[in-house]
Every structure is written in C-alpha cells, then in structure tokens.
C-alpha cells in the first residue's frame, strides 16, 4: 500500500511487487507442506523444504532491499523495510530430528517468530531513533527492537512454564534502546537526575540531594567539602547544568516514546497474558502525563486497546478499561478518539459483569467520559445504557461503589437534556422534575415538553402531579408561547390519568383553565389555548368521578362549575361552530356535568332555549370519530329529559337516523358502533316518528343481519361487542312499543319478533341486558296478543298445521274437513307470528327460567312478561293452571328470597297473590306457598317496611295464609 500510493514510485516497482507476491505465495506453499494436515514427511524431505524456504525468504529480503529509499514517504517505513530485509536475508532453519513427523503444538499465545516479522511489516513506529544509522546500513552493537521482543516472547513462555521472572521488562527494553550515559546519574543517589546542578568542584549533583548535603554539613560544624572529590568548598553556589538538564529531558522524552512504542508493539503481538498485562500497566504509568497521552494517541494506541476489551481473560479486560480511563482522563482529544470506537458500548456491556473489579473499571471509565458534554449524548444514545445505570444506582445495594459512580454518571448525563427524557422513560423522574421546577425558562420549556411525551406508569402518576402541577400552572401564565405550549402539553398528559384529577383541582388548575377558555386571549399565538384548556378540563371532570361540580369554584366571583355561567358559555361556544377538537372537549365537559342533577336541569334548559339539540345532532355527522362518540354519549344522557325533541330533530337531519346503523360495517366492532346503537336504543320507545323513520330505511333487516353475523363469528369481536349487541336488541324492542301502527305491526309479524326475542332469552352473548331487553320485547308483544287474538267465526286450519301445535295448550273443535283452534288463555286464534302468543312461541318456560337469574333487572323484566298472561282480559284461571304446571310458583318463591328490590318484590308478591286467589285453599299451589318456611318472614318485612302497594299485597297474602286476622262479611245477630 505504501508503494502503490507513493508519488516517487518508478516503473520497475510493479515488477518488484509482482516478484514479492510470487515469493510470498511460494513460501506459503512450502509452509503448508510442513503442516500436520499434509501427513508425515522424512527428515531429508523436511530439510529440502527448509532450504527452499530459506532461499525464498532471502529472495523476499533482496526484493525489499532493492526498493530505493526515496520511494517511501516516511523514513520510518524505510527503516522497517530495511530491517525486515536484513532479517530475511539472514534467515536460517534447521531440522530437529526428534520432532519430525510430530504435530506441532502452538503455544498459548498463538505467536511465534513470524509474528515479529509480520509486526515489523505493518507497524512503522516500532523502530525508534537512529534513523540515519539504518539508512546508512551501518552495523551497530545496539540490539534491534525485534530482538528484544523475540526475547520477551521466549521469556514470557518460560515464565508460563517454570514461573521464573521475566529477564527483560518493557521499560528495560526501552532504556536499552536509548542508552543511559554515566553523566545522567547523580553520584550520590545513582539515579537519573531531574534537576542537575554543578557546584564549585565542577561535579554535577541532583539539586535536592546536594542541598541536603550542605545542610547537614552546616549542622555538624564541619567544613563543607565536595562529596565525591573531598575538595573544600568556599562557595555554596549551585549552578544549573542547563546543557545536561536539556540532554536528560530529551533522553527521557525519547525513552518515554520508546516505552510507548514497545508497549504498543507488545499489545500488537499479544504473545502472552503476562506480556499484555505488563504493557497495560506500563501504559497506565506513562500516560498520567498529558504530553505522554498525546504521544500515545499519535501511535493510534486506542484502536489496539479497544480490541482487548473483548479479550477472553477478565483481568486483561479490566486493565484495558483502566488504561483507557487513564488515557482519556482530563483529555478532550482522547475522548474524541474514544467516541469513534465501540468502547462506550462495550463498557455498557461490562456494567452487567458478575465481577466487581470489571464492573468498577467500566463505571469509572464511563464516569470520566461523562464529564464531556459532547460524549453525554453518545453515552445516552447507547441502547439500554441509561436503564442499566439506573438499575445499578437504585437496585445494587451490595455494590456501593458502583451505585455511587452510576449516580454521578447520571448526574453528568443531565448536561444533555435528551438524556433526562430517557431517564424519565426508564423510571428515574427526579432529574426531569427537578429541572422543571428549578431550571431556567428554556430548561422548563424542554422538560415540560418531555413530560407531555413520555408514558407514565401507574406508580408515578400521582407523584408527578404532586411535584409538577404547580410549576406547570405557573408556566401557563408565562408570556412565552413555547413555554405555555409545553406546559399545556404536560398538563394534558397528567390530566389524562384518573388518579391525578383531584390533585390537579387542589393545585388550583380549574380557575386557570376556565380563564383560558372563556376570557384570556393571546392573539397571533400559534396554538389554540382554549382547545388545550378545554381538553384538560374535560379530562379532569371525566376522570374525577368524586368531584362535585356544584362545589367546584371556577373564579373569584363565586361561580361554580355547574353554574349558569359555565353552562351558557360552553353552549354558546358550541353554537358558534368552534374547531372540532374544541367541540369534542366542550361536549365531554357537558357530559361530565350531567352527574349533577341541578347541572343537568340547567343544560336541558339552555339547550331548549337555544335550540341546541339540532347543533348537537349535526355533530354526529362530523368526520372526527371522537366528536361523534362524545355527542352520542351526551344525547343519550339527555334523552330521558328531551328524548322526543332529540328524536324529532334526528329525523329532520339529513342522513339520520339510518346512518347510525348503515355505518356499522362488517369489520371489528368499535366503540363508535356500540355508542351509536345504544343511543338509538335509549331514545323514547314511544316516538312513532323515529320508529317509522327507522322502519322506512329497512333498519330491522339490517339489525338482524348484524346480529346473525356476530353470532356466527363473521364479524371480529372486541370489548365493545356486548354493548353493541345490547344496542341492536334495544332498537328492536323500541318497535314493540308502537305496535298500534299498521306498518310496524306488519313488520313485527313478518320478522316473527316473538321468536326472535324468545331465542335471545337463551342467547350465548352472556349479557344480562340482552335477556332483560328480550323479556321487555316479549312483554310488549304479549300485551297486544289479547287484542290481536279474535274469537273465530269460520276459521279453518289444515291438519298438517295442527301437527305443529303444542299438545294440550289449545282446545280442538272438529269440523268436516278441518279443525278449529282456540288459545285457552287469549280465547281466540293465536300464533307466534300473527298474535305474538307466548304459548305458541314456547317462551313461557324460558321466561320462567330467567327468574333464577342473579340480576334483579332480568327477573323483573321476565316477571312483567309473565304477568301479561295473568291480565284481567285473559282467562286467568287457565293461565294459572298452565303456569302452575310449569312450576312457576317454586321459581317465584326462590326469587323472592334472593331479591329485595322494591319493584321486583312487588311483582313477585302480585304473582303469589294471584295464584292464592285463583287456586284457593286445598289446591296444590296453595300448599306449595303455605309450606315455604321463609315466605312468612319475607311477608312480615314487606308489611313493616314496604311501600304502599307492596305493604297492602303482603297484608292480603298473610290473610290468605291465615297469618293475619281478616274481617268477616257475615252479620252477627
């Protein structure tokens, strides 16, 4: 590469390179012939191979030597080439007979003498000083570095075998390369002098040592003499030997550079653990000086050290990390070099080491790096790095050192704001909150923005609100638009958690948000503060279920959250076609206020006064789904108060009400689907206009299709599936309330709604509400049966139809060709299709089964449907008989024990009274009722504590059971 890039290259270099390449290939082939895989070979063949190898290597040496020195850009490269050439031209091999044909076992270091040659070829810094001697080719007695490294390899191997100390250490190698002169040594200490001074005798000493000599001589009252010559000194003057000091300093510098190069060479070779360990230790000692660090960086030592972080030996990895720490300590240039390697990622991995020493070295290294603001970003960007540091800081109580250093690193990482966000996301919120409360305006703005972005877990929601809400509210009042924006963003995030609603209210947020919503205006602000304020208020009121709107003060004038002031302003803003985001929040606020009866009354009054129902219904057509859902919820809540108004407006709005059903596509059921169906289901059942509008759009067919799709699994289910089905059934039920209309009656007969509701009583949806609604539908249908069932004049039925009739329920009158069928209860011709007869639909047994439900509403609805068979317009006596045979009395008595709701109990007692009145004493029904041991106590409680009708029924039943004295109608004369 050096030759190919040289500007001084000549044409014959190509030929030289080609010859070198051929020689290298030949050498490889010769070596492969000697490998164990090549099989056993004899001594003579091996000797021949070695001779060829010697010639080949010598040819390579000659080729290198033929390259002119002017070709190279760097003299060090020329020195390396000449040295390699000299070694190769002197190469010799010999055959050791007792090793022939035996596999060659590589030492642990996996290095041999060829490593040294390879090192020389690729490292231009190995050959120090004396460049001119190498260029001239003059011989010298000074050993070359390769010789010493070779000796170190051997000595290291000897150490590993017999434990003897190394003959030469790295500093000794460097000192031998840079020879010491006698003049460098102080005559007294025998050490190299730091500050050489010359005295009157002309001898040079170490300043500190000769000064101490003079002081002791004075204390002993002796003549002061030169320690070496004994010459009496008349003057104690010390003259700095500048020339010698300069020479020693230069020698030290060369010696240090040589030691660095030797250490680098040792690490590059990596011959043994002891050699690597010694090189690392020497580098740590040398690089405590800033100048030496610079020299080390110039040799690209960092890239070599980083590779040793993956070394198999743990001690080597630890010492490597410590060496890197020394290299970057108080050295910004060194940290920049580290930033271009993977040392930071590796150090993060070492934090999870099971060995304390390795973990300590990694955390100390990262602590040093974290002092640089530039590297704070790099450290924080390591995947999982901040999480690991937080884990060590908070969780590792057994390693106090690592925990302390990890805390210091995290503190330093706060210099880069993005790291604070990472800390918060990984569970360490304190830095973010501290900077939000105590930081500069710019920092507060940034922290507020982060707080709005991160997802808080349940354990920290309340803590964050308690710590940060006051500061965030204060930031809202700031005139800085960016600060206000970040504060609103954070408050929106905090207010979206249920546990924080009360905390924010106590912090005084409601008056501030009301002010932002109704009165404060900052023109040309690039955000809608009223939308943000409305959203925060909506979150607080919606989630703060224990908040009382009547007691929530919104300003200093005494207005409350449920006051006319708030309601009128919100409705006025809705009436003015505000942005959809704002409208959504305003509607949510109104929905939350409906928890207060007084506020509901005000909302209803204002809506009527301003004719706002039309505007709310129009919002159902908004493309924004969240707004659709909020409006549907509010209208559903208001339907008990202004349901007919809503229904009429809905029918006069383009695209309504059919779009509430048609938009339910055959995809996964969403919240919107469930809310819309329940909205239609909760509107007044008796509103004929709405029912006809739905009928006109073929809604019933659509509903039955949707229901069947869900039942068959053709539509993906979700947590909204059950509410959606409840809404569909509720819409069907509403038609049964207006059966007096011919069109609706025709539809009910066409779709056989009696059978539909009967099947729903045992539906697999698992919803009590579906059962209740089905029972309500059957009640409404059965109530019309007595009107629809007519006494026959000449109604004839085919015999084949008679076979489908429930045996025993109908009286059969024979005629000539046909038979006449009459319902025993309704006294006319009945069927589930035409007259909605519960007997023909076989719904009675299923209704009776619903009496065992744990849901009181289901029991009440089922009783109401059964009671239609005991109406005074039907044949009650026969109905009592049929119901008795279905064991309804036992179910009613069981339900009376389990349910104490007044409305349910009243119906249960009414049924019992009817059976006692119709059955009479001595009947099976009377015996079943009188033998029930818990009934008397239940009746007594109802008599004492029940409401008017319930108490009267309890009293009458007790008289029937002879548990209470009755009045006789006989006149006693």
Q: Summarize pLDDT for 542-600 with one digit per residue, the tens.
A: 887 677 888 888 888 888 888 889 998 888 888 776 788 899 999 999 999 998 888 89
- Tell me how many degrees the CA angle 678-679-681 measures, rounded to the nearest 5: 60
Mean pLDDT, residues 379-388? 91
Residue 197's φ and ψ, nearest 5 degrees, are -130, 150
Q: Which residues contact 578 (CB under 8 A, 6 or more apart)?
A: 586
CA 859 to CA 872: how far, in whole Å? 22
DSSP bridge pairs for 197: 205, 240
> What pLDDT is recorded for position 110?
36
CA 864 to CA 847: how far, in whole Å? 10
- Chain-centre distance for alpha carbon 589: 30
For residues 358-368, b (16+ Cβ closer than 10 Å) or e, as one string? Answer: bbbbbbbbbbb
CA 649 to CA 674: how far, in whole Å? 21
Residue 403 near residue 393 (C-beta atoms within 8 A)? yes
Residue 606 near residue 612 (C-beta atoms within 8 A)? yes
> What pLDDT is recorded for position 290?
83
Q: Inform me whether the pLDDT recorded for 671 exceeds 90.
A: no
> What pLDDT is recorded for position 140?
35
Q: Inform me whether the pLDDT recorded for 926 exceeds 80.
A: no
Q: Inform me whether the pLDDT recorded for 519 exceeds 60.
A: yes
- Sign of the torsion formed by the C-alpha atoms of 142, 146, 149 and 154: negative
308-343 residue pLDDT tens: 998 988 999 999 999 999 999 988 998 999 989 999
> What pLDDT is recorded for position 771?
92
Which is nearest to 770 in space by CA: 663, 686, 861, 851? 861
Is 757 in a helix, a strand, or coil?
Answer: helix
> What pLDDT is recorded for position 175?
52
> What pLDDT is recorded for position 104?
35
Residue 378 near residue 338 (C-beta atoms within 8 A)? no
Mean pLDDT, residues 165-171? 50
Mean pLDDT, residues 266-290? 84
Going from the C-alpha of 821 to that of each of 34, 156, 556, 883, the distances in angstroms are 114, 116, 78, 20
CA 350 to CA 346: how far, in whole Å? 6
> What pLDDT is recorded for position 23?
87
- Chain-centre distance for alpha carbon 668: 25
Lowest mean pLDDT among 470-479, 786-795, 924-933, 960-969: 960-969
DSSP bridge pairs for 232: 225
Going from the C-alpha of 506 to that of each of 157, 474, 486, 586, the distances in angstroms are 77, 14, 21, 22
Residue 420 near residue 450 (C-beta atoms within 8 A)? yes
Is 502 in a helix, a strand, or coil?
Answer: helix
CA 851 to CA 905: how far, in whole Å? 12
- Tell me how many degrees the CA angle 963-967-970 measures, rounded to the nearest 5: 130
Q: Inform me whether the pLDDT recorded for 185 exceeds 70.
A: yes
In which band, very low, low, confident or very high, does the pLDDT at 73 lie, cut at 50, 70 and 90? low
Q: Inform me whether the pLDDT recorded for 960 exceeds 60.
A: yes
What share of the chain has pLDDT > 70, as a percent?
Answer: 80
Q: For residue 319, what are its two tokens?
A: 């010492």
Q: For residue 757, what are its two tokens?
A: 């509701």
- Sign of the torsion formed by the C-alpha atoms of 939, 945, 950 and 952: positive
Q: Inform me whether the pLDDT recorded for 609 exceeds 50.
A: yes
Q: For residue 916, what are its two tokens?
A: 């006692």
Q: Which residues contact 248 (CB under 8 A, 6 or more apart)?
A: 184, 192, 193, 194, 196
In which band, very low, low, confident or very high, does the pLDDT at 161 lie, cut at 50, 70 and 90? very low
Which is nearest to 739 in space by CA: 697, 701, 773, 785? 785
In which band, very low, low, confident or very high, does the pLDDT at 807 lie, cut at 50, 70 and 90? very low
In which band, very low, low, confident or very high, does the pLDDT at 524 lie, cut at 50, 70 and 90? low
Q: For residue 815, what are its two tokens?
A: 């005629």
- Tell me how many degrees the CA angle 909-912-918 measures, rounded to the nearest 5: 140
Q: Give, as one character, the DSSP assignment of residue 797.
A: B
What mean pLDDT, rounded, does the chain reach? 79
Which is nearest to 403 in space by CA: 346, 461, 345, 360? 360
Q: Where are the beta strands (DSSP E) in 299-420?
A: none
CA 901 to CA 260: how far, in whole Å? 93
Q: Inform me whether the pLDDT recorded for 496 exceeds 50.
A: yes
Q: Which H or E run contains 259?
A: helix 242-269
The residue written with tokens 């009382």 in the block is 548
More reliable by pLDDT, 764 or 831: 831
> What pLDDT is recorded for position 178?
57
Largest CA distance in the chain: 169
- Tell me how many degrees the CA angle 174-180-184 measures, rounded to the nearest 5: 130
- Chain-centre distance for alpha carbon 587: 31
Q: Which H or E run contains 469?
A: helix 458-476
Q: For residue 215, what are its two tokens?
A: 């002081």
Q: Inform me whether the pLDDT recorded for 762 exceeds 50.
A: yes
Is 204 in a helix, a strand, or coil?
Answer: strand
In which band, very low, low, confident or very high, does the pLDDT at 139 lie, cut at 50, 70 and 90? very low
Going from the C-alpha of 211 to that of each of 205, 228, 245, 676, 693, the distances in angstroms are 9, 15, 17, 102, 117
CA 517 to CA 528: how far, in whole Å? 10
> What pLDDT is recorded for position 77?
64
Residue 337's φ and ψ, nearest 5 degrees, are -65, -45
Lowest mean pLDDT among 451-460, 500-509, 921-930: 921-930
CB-neighbour burial class of residue 413 (10 A; exposed 0-12, middle 13-18, buried 19+):
buried
In which band, very low, low, confident or very high, does the pLDDT at 667 lie, cut at 50, 70 and 90? low
> What pLDDT is recorded for position 501?
84
């Amino acid at each position: 590469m050096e030759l190919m890039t040289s500007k001084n290259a000549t044409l014959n270099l190509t030929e030289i390179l080609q010859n070198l390449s051929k020689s290298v290939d030949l050498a490889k082939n010769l070596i492969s012939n000697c490998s164990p895989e090549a099989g056993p070979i004899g001594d003579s063949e091996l000797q021949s191979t070695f001779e060829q190898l010697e010639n080949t290597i010598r040819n390579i040496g000659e080729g290198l030597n033929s390259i002119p020195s002017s070709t190279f850009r760097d003299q060090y490269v020329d020195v390396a080439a000449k040295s390699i050439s000299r070694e190769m031209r002197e190469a010799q091999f010999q055959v050791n007979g007792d090793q022939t044909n035996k596999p060659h076992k590589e030492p642990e270091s996996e290095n041999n003498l060829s490593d040294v040659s390879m090192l020389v070829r690729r490292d231009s810094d190995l050959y120090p000083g004396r460049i001119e001697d190498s260029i001239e080719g003059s011989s010298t007695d000074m050993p070359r570095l390769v010789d010493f490294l070779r000796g170190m390899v051997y000595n290291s191997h000897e150490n590993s075998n017999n434990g003897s100390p190394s003959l030469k250490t790295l500093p000794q190698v460097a000192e031998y390369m840079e020879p010491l002169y006698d003049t460098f040594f102080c005559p007294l200490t025998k050490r190299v002098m730091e500050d050489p001074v010359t005295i009157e005798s002309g001898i040079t000493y170490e300043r500190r040592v000769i000064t101490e000599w003079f002081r002791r001589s004075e204390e002993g009252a002796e003549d002061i003499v030169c320690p070496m010559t004994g010459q009496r000194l008349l003057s104690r003057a010390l003259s700095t030997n500048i020339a010698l000091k300069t020479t020693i300093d230069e020698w030290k510098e060369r010696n240090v550079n040589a030691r660095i190069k030797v250490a680098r060479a040792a690490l590059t070779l990596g011959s043994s653990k002891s050699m690597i360990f010694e090189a690392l230790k020497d580098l740590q000692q040398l690089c405590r000086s800033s100048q030496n660090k610079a020299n080390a960086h110039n040799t690209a030592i960092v890239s070599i050290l980083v590779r040793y972080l993956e070394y198999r030996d743990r001690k080597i990895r630890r010492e490597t990390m410590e060496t890197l720490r020394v290299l970057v300590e108080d050295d910004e240039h060194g940290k920049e070099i580290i930033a271009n390697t993977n040392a930071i990622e590796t150090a993060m991995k070492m934090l999870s080491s099971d060995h304390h020493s390795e973990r300590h070295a990694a955390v100390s290294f990262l602590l040093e790096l974290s002092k640089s603001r530039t590297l704070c970003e790099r450290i924080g960007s390591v995947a999982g790095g901040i999480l690991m540091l937080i884990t060590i800081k908070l969780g590792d109580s057994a390693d106090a050192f690592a925990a302390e250093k990890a805390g210091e690193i995290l503190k330093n990482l706060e210099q880069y704001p993005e790291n604070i966000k990472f800390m918060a996301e990984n569970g360490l919120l304190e830095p973010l909150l501290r900077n939000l409360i105590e930081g500069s305006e710019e920092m507060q703005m940034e922290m507020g923005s982060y707080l709005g972005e991160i997802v808080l877990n349940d354990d920290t929601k309340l803590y964050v609100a308690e710590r940060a809400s006051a500061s965030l509210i204060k930031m809202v009042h700031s005139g800085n638009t960016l600060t206000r924006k970040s504060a609103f963003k954070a408050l929106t995030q905090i207010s979206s958690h249920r546990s924080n609603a009360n905390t924010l209210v106590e912090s005084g947020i409601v008056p501030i948000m009301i002010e932002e919503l109704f009165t404060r205006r900052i023109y040309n602000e690039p955000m809608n503060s009223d939308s943000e304020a409305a959203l925060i208020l909506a979150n607080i009121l919606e989630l703060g279920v224990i908040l009382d709107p009547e007691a929530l003060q919104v300003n200093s004038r005494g207005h409350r959250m449920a006051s006319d002031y708030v309601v009128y302003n919100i409705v006025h803003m809705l009436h003015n076609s505000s942005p959809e985001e704002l409208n959504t929040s305003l509607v949510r606020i109104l929905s939350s206020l409906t928890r207060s009866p007084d506020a509901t009354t005000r909302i209803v009054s204002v809506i009527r006064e301003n004719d706002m129902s039309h505007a709310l219904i129009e919002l159902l057509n908004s493309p924004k789904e969240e707004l659709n859902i909020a409006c549907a919820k509010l209208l559903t809540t208001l339907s008990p108060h202004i349901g007919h108004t809503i229904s009429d407006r809905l029918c006069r709005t383009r695209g309504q009400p059919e779009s509430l059903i048609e938009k339910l596509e055959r995809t996964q059921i969403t919240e919107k689907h469930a809310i819309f169906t329940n909205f239609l289901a909760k509107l007044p059942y008796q509103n004929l206009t709405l029912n006809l509008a739905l009928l006109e759009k073929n809604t019933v067919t659509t509903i039955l299709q949707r229901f069947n799709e869900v039942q068959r699994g053709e539509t993906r289910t979700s947590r909204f599936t059950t509410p959606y089905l409840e809404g569909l059934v509720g819409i069907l039920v509403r038609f049964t309330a207006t059966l007096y209309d011919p069109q609706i009656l025709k539809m009910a007969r066409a779709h056989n709604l009696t059978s539909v509701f009967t099947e729903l009583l045992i539906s697999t949806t698992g919803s009590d509400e579906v059962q209740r609604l089905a029972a309500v539908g059957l009640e409404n249908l059965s109530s019309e049966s007595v009107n629809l069932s007519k006494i026959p004049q000449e109604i004839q039925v085919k015999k084949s139809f008679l076979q489908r009739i429930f045996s025993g329920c109908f009286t059969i009158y024979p005629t000539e060709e046909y038979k006449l069928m009459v319902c025993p209860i309704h006294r006319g011709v009945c069927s589930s299709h035409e007259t909605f007869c519960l007997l023909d639909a076989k719904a009675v047994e299923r209704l009776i089964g619903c009496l065992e439900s744990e849901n009181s509403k289901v029991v009440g609805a089922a009783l109401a449907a059964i009671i239609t068979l005991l109406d005074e317009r039907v044949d009650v006596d026969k109905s009592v008989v049929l119901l008795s045979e279905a064991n309804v009395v036992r179910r009613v008595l069981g339900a009376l024990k389990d349910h104490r709701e007044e409305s349910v109990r009243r119906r249960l007692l009414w049924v019992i009274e009817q059976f006692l009145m119709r059955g009479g004493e001595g009947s099976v029904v009377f015996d079943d009722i009188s033998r029930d041991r818990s009934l008397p106590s239940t009746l007594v409680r109802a008599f004492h504590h029940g409401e008017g009708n319930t108490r009267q029924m309890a009293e009458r039943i007790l008289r029937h059971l002879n548990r209470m004295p009755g009045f006789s109608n006989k006149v006693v004369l």
